[in-house]
Every structure is written in C-alpha cells, then in structure tokens.
Amino acid sequence: MKKVDIILFSCNRACQADLALRSIKDHFENVGKVVVFYKHSSSIFGPGYDKLFSKDYGLNIGKYYQDSFSSNFKMIYHFMLESDYYTGFCFRKGEKVETKQGMVSIQDINVGDLVKTHTGEFHRVLKRIKNLHKYSSPYIKISTLNSVTKCTEEHPFLVKHSGKVSWVKAVEINPQMELLYPYQNKQDLLEINCLYHNKNKKRASSYSETPGFNDKFTSLTVDEDLARFLGLYLAEGNTASDSIRFTLNKNEDEYVDFIIRVCREKFRREPKVWKTQASNVKLNFRSFKSKFIEWFGEYAHSKKVPNFVFSWNLKNKLAFLSGYLDGDGTKRDEKCWRFSSVSSELIFGINKLIIDCGLEIIKVDTRVNNDIICGNKVKSKPIHTGGMTVKATSKFEDLLAASKYGNYLVLKIRKTESYIYNKSEEVFNLEVEKDNSYIVNSAIVHNCDDDVFIRKTNCDAILEKFNEPDVSSISLKIHANQTWSYPGVDTPLPAFIETEPFLKWNWRKYHRGDVDWGYPTNVNAMIFPRQYFADLIMSNTFSCPNSMEGSLNNVRFKFKDCLVSFRETKVLNIAANLVQTMGQTPKIKNVTTTEELNKRFLDGEIISTENVYNKESMFTSTELSYQFKRG
C-alpha cells in the first residue's frame, strides 16, 4: 500500500487537533506519518497539548514541533518532508491481550471480541490497527519480576508513580514506577455450616477458646491463605471417617508448616502430623468429611474444582490455583506449568479457572497406559494433562506477587530498555469501545480514540493518477455533487475531462479562481507528490498555513494543469477557525471559544462525530454545531 504523509497545523485548539487526529486514524488507510505543527499560549493551553500528545491515536506520528509559524517554519516543513521518522503506537506480534477467553495474541484479536479494560469490565474491540514498524525505529522492553512486554516508544501505560496514577509513554517508564492491573477487592465467604463436635471443650494455649460440641461453624472469610489451603487439598487431600488429610512428599516441609498454620488460624484446631514414606497432616473434624466430599469429590477420578471458587475475587482465585499447582503441578524447564489427573472434570475446572483469571491454557492431552500385571495387559484409566503457556505462567506469577492498591494490583518494574529489531515488521494496536483501554500481558495500556474522516478512504488506486504528467494534486474533499464551497458561495461544476472512476478537470479553465474547482493551492485535504510540493514552497515566504496557501496561489502558474478527486467527498471541512487573523473564513459563525474547547478537552470530553460520519453535503466546507461526548 502506498503511504501518504499528513501535515496537521494547529493553534490553541487541542480539542480540534484531537478531532483531526482521530479522523485520520479511523478513516484514512494510506497514512504514512503525521507531523503536527502547533503554536499555543503555554500558560493557557499547554496542558491541553500535553494531554493531546500523550494520547494514543494509532498513527505513525513522526515529530511534534512547537514553532512560531515564522520564516523558519518553511525550513522545518521542508525537513519534515525529507525525514524518515516513524513512531507507531503499537505492540509487537505475539504480545498477549486479555479477553473473555483468556490471553490471545494481539494479531489474532478480531473486531467484536470482548477485552478487559482498565475498569476490570469487558468491552468490544471496535478496530484492530496494523502498522509497519521500520527497522530503524526503536522498541521499548518493559520487564517486571516475571514477564516482558515489547512495544513502540509512544504507547501509553497506566502506572503508579509518587502516589499518583497516570498514563505514561513506554519510553518514559522507569523502575521507580509500577504497572497496574484492574482488581475488584470484594470480600468472599466460604459457607461451611458444620458442628465442631468437640465434647471436651478444651482451651488451647495457642488460640482462643475452642468451641464446644454443639457450637456451629457457619462461615469463614476467604483470604489468600485459605484459598491456597483449599487448592492444596484439591491436589493432595483426601478424607477419612473422622478427618480430612493431606499426603505430601516427605521433603515438602514448607507445605506441611503452611497447612499447620492455616488449621490453627482458620479452624482453631491442632492438626496431627506424622511421617512415613510421605508427610501426613490430619485435621480431625468429623463433620468436614461430607462437606469436603461435596466440594471436591471423593476419589481421584471424581475430583473437581468447587463451583464457589469461580465467584471469588482474582487474588483468591490465583491463590487457589497456586495451591493446586504446589501439589499437582510441575514447572517445565522453569518456564511453564503442567498438571495431570485421571479426573477429566478436574482438568476442565482448572482450565476454566485459568481462563477466568485472564490466562492462557495449552491443549489438553489425554493418554491411556497399558500396565502389565502378572503377565497380562491391564488398561488403566486415561490420564489428562493440561497446563499454561509460557506467557500465561509469567502473568500468573506477576499477579500472584502483586500488591493491592485501591482498584488495582501493583506490579514492580525490574528494568526498561530500548532496542532496535534488525528488520521492519507489522505491529498492532486496538480500538476498544467505552473505556479506551485494554490489557497486554500484565499491564493496562491505552488504545486509540474515536475519529472523523467521514468515510473510509484508500488512496492506492487514485495515487496512480500522479503517473499522468498533467496532474498536480489530488483532493480528498472536492466531490461530484459539490455546487457550493462555503454556505452561500456557489461553485458550478467544471467541464470534467474524466468522471469515472475519479473526477479529473483542468483547473486553469475554470472561470473562477477563488473557490475549490479553480484553486490548486488549497493545502487543506490535498495530496501532493513529495518533492514536487517541496520544490514549490522553497521559493516562498510565509508565516502561517493561510499565508503559505496565499503565497502558493501567487505562483499557481507553476502548478500542473489538472486536479483529481474521488466522486464522493472523503473529508468534510468544518470551518470553525476562531484563532486565525489572516484570511477569515466567510460566513462561518463562531461556534464557541478556544478556552471552552480546551477546557472540555482537559475535562475528558472530545468532539463527537456522530453528526459527521458519511454526511452528504453540497459543500466542501460546512457549518455544523459541535457535539461533545466523554472521551
């Protein structure tokens, strides 16, 4: 696909610059790089531009210039035309996005998929953006204690720094900051409703008074210790007539000590411990037998994950999963978890829990071994093996170790580094409805925002018109039904040289040179060949976009004879310039003030495009009232 560089001029209007950038991103498929030239009064409008430039538009934005639009503007503009800057707001192929179905590689995300946002809710993907990242452009690698995320320099992450939560570009992140992950800190209860059956009602020195025979054990608040205890029971537990028991490897003293502590703190009982070929821990609690069988199943082939686990908060789910893996899991090459069971229901439940935690599973493998007993082949029960992927294991261990901070989990950053990949490759980004964010690996990132080029635009075919020697430029806004320029300024159609598939006309033969059909020097929504346009402007003096357009008009005789456009307009020009003092727009009302526009932008509002998309108009420049919505 051929690429078209876009220049955006803006002055004291971050909100309108935001509208233009969203427009380009959403509807213009041939965008190469976007360069923003801006002038603003920093004491009033600076924060608006800071916020504008911290947003992720999914565009290849080369450089932003703060310039006075004086004579050196020409030099900067020419430098931009010759530059090779390229910065995409994207992630490398293979980075994992959290969806309703667990972790999915970003290149495999589809429109309509539900992804988790910074609120912890799931929202639809509106668009998947794919860009080409040049080999000379750096990536940023952000390493936590367990995982690595690779992205372009400009992609914003939600971080905690100096007690504040804010969006920060990847290139600006450092180990003094912490990444964030959404978390709902709700209280979970385990309903037990069992009798203690303690006839002696002894007082134990290490805990409070032990309940008596008829005292009821109703419920317990679930914390990470209790959740891990129950996960460990699922892996290593069983029941006897008067107790629940754990059978562990004789060297697993850490797990034995943990079980003893939980028995004391949660159940106020002293467990019995003995060692043979294994370490055994017995919690005498007769009424627990039927309850644990109901929850976990009685035998190895009938074990299962209790239904209540799936309603727990994330930290408790992770702790339960951790306990199960402590008992039945193995770490393959220290990179990813694997686990096996003769119970298919158990493997199904663990896989469901892994996905529920926003992780990724491997395909379950089932095999049947034939044992030889007394010379005869005996078919054994099938063994089902499951596990987590490497990236899921890293995320699992990140989240397990994370601390709580309000509605987030906090992940420590071990290091950040910049590196260059030795070839160009595709990189990806997502646009997500409502919350404008999604989760990559263990971190919250920002997505693209909404837009306004009023129709989808691919210029591959029309750019071929530049091969014709008489074509000077291509207009994205002139169209076949245009009989007015500004409201009240009529513009009769020219005598077209061609009308299919594109419009082509000789601008020199148009009888009026003050409106679009006879105006080849309009720099708004025009595509010019790079070197041709650079040569035209080098001999002119100008101080702002309007004076640049005027200076070009003075030398319009240098332009080639013909202009080309699509049959339908791709760009709707909403003339609402409140700042310029040169070449005032005719018959356009002042819709609002720059102060109001920027205040709305800083307050989180953006200009809505619902009254703009696919709008049919006789005008190239029209008058529309602003509509706002939360960004």
Torsion sign (Cα): 150, 152, 153, 156: negative
459-487 pLDDT tens trace: 788 888 889 999 988 888 788 877 665 54
3-state secondary structure labels for all residues of 33-101: EEEEEEECCHHHHHHHHHHHHHCCCCCCEEEEEECCCCCHHHHHHHHHHHCCCCCCCCEECCCEEEECC
Q: Tell me the chain's radius of gyration from C-alpha atoms.
A: 33
The H or E element containing residue 302 is none
Residue 559 CB coordination number (10 Å): 20
Sequence-separated (6 or more) residues with CB below 8 Å from residue 440: 91, 95, 96, 97, 106, 149, 151
Residue 456 CB coordination number (10 Å): 11
Task: Report in angstroms the alpha-carbon separations of 204 from 208, 248, 268, 281.
Answer: 7, 27, 9, 19
Would you list the DSSP string of 186-208? --EEEEEEEE---TT-PPPTTSS
Q: Provide the pairing of β-strand 621-622 with 573-574.
A: parallel
Give the residue among 378, 417, 404, 407 at the shortest CA–CA distance from 170: 417
pLDDT at 312: 97
Confidence class for position 430, pLDDT limits 50, 70, 90: confident
Range 492-519 burial, b when 16+ CB lie within 10 A, else e: eebeeeeeeebbbbbbeebeeeebbbbb
pLDDT at 68: 44
pLDDT at 400: 96
Range name among 309-318, 520-529, 575-584 with the lowest pLDDT average: 575-584
Give the residue among 246, 323, 258, 325 at the shortest CA–CA distance from 285: 246
496-507 pLDDT tens trace: 998 899 999 998
The H or E element containing residue 517 is none
Q: What is the residue-averaged pLDDT of the chain?
A: 78
Q: Is residue 282 within 8 Å of 240, Cβ to Cβ? A: yes
Range name among 126-140, 189-203, 327-341 with the lowest pLDDT average: 189-203
Query: What does the alpha-carbon distance between residue 19 and residue 136 come to, in Å, rounded to a whole number?
Result: 30
pLDDT at 148: 93
196-240 pLDDT tens trace: 654 444 443 334 445 544 567 788 999 999 999 999 999 999 998
Q: Provide the pairing of β-strand 216-222 with 188-195.
A: antiparallel
Is the model's pLDDT at 387 over the cut of 70? yes
Is the model's pLDDT at 449 over the cut of 50? no
Residue 124 CB coordination number (10 Å): 13
Mean pLDDT, residues 324-333 = 91
Residue of 96 and 195 predicted with greater confidence: 96
Percent of the chain with pLDDT over 70: 70
* The model's pTM: 0.60
Is the model's pLDDT at 381 over the cut of 90? no
Is the model's pLDDT at 512 over the cut of 70? no
Residue 585 CB coordination number (10 Å): 16
Query: What does the alpha-carbon distance between residue 614 and residue 569 come to, in Å, rounded to a whole number?
Result: 9
Residue of 51 and 388 predicted with greater confidence: 388
pLDDT at 192: 87
Domains of the chain with CATH codes: 4-86+453-630 (3.90.550), 91-183+406-446 (2.170.16.10), 188-393 (3.10.28.10)
Is the model's pLDDT at 593 over the cut of 70? no
